A = this chain, B = another copy of it.
Amino acid sequence: MGREIERKFRVAGDGWRQGEGVLFRQGYLCTDQDRTVRVRLEGERGVITIKGRTEGLSRAEFEYEVPASEAEEMLEKLCLHPLIEKRRRRIDHAGRIWEVDEFSGENEGLVVAEVELDEEDEAIDLPPWVGEEVSDDPRYYNANLVKHPYGTWGLG
């Protein structure tokens, strides 16, 4: 298992729009506050991820690779719908990898940048295309974007 510690930001401008990225399709078998179970296709790779409750910036995380065809079948037949679709770009900035997710489908218009940390209070150098921090806002949890997609937020 790991413990995932991450900070999350909206983006500002287009500086993050570099390269093609990889198409992600993901869905949830469970979106409880205390535990989520996610099925994801990362390009051709299938993954199941189980996470615990978020405490501060961190949460327990268990991840297992599964055959892509089985991930596909679980997404179509077992996961809660709508599925989440996004294009993920990995961008190196000041020695850290930022993951920028450009959502499509029901969450079209939303772009979120995440960076993983080793410690909650670690200093980070923010890329110039990073905007408002949303680490503490549960609306941005992908599990919540299933139930309340960005298109329904009424924020423009």
Q: Give the contacting residue for A50; candidates B34, B62, B78; CB below 8 A.
A: B78
The 10 closest A-B pairs by CB, nearest first: A30-B30, A35-B78, A37-B37, A29-B35, A1-B70, A52-B78, A29-B37, A29-B30, A62-B70, A64-B64
How many residues of chain A are within 8 Å of chain B by beta carbon? 20
Is residue A134 within 8 Å, beta carbon to beta carbon, of the partner chain? Answer: no
Q: Which of A1, A34, A66 has the most CB of B within 10 A?
A: A1
Q: Is the interface of A mostly helix, strand, loop or mixed?
A: strand
Of A34, A50, A52, A73, chain B has the most CB atoms within 10 Å of the CB of A50
**Which A5-36 residues have C-beta < 8 A from chain B?**
29-30, 32, 34-35
Show 29 A/B contacts (Cβ-Cβ < 8 Å), sorted by A: A1-B70, A1-B73, A29-B29, A29-B35, A29-B37, A29-B50, A30-B30, A30-B32, A30-B35, A30-B37, A34-B78, A35-B78, A35-B79, A37-B37, A37-B50, A48-B48, A48-B50, A48-B64, A50-B74, A50-B78, A52-B78, A60-B73, A60-B77, A60-B78, A62-B66, A62-B70, A62-B74, A64-B64, A64-B66
Q: Contacts A66-B62, A66-B64, A70-B1 given: A52-B35 contact, CB under 8 Å?
A: no
Q: How far is the CA of A73 from the CA of B51 in the complex (A)?
A: 12
Which chain B residues border A66 with CB–CB below 8 Å? 62, 64
What chain B residues lie within 8 Å of A48 (beta carbons)?
48, 50, 64
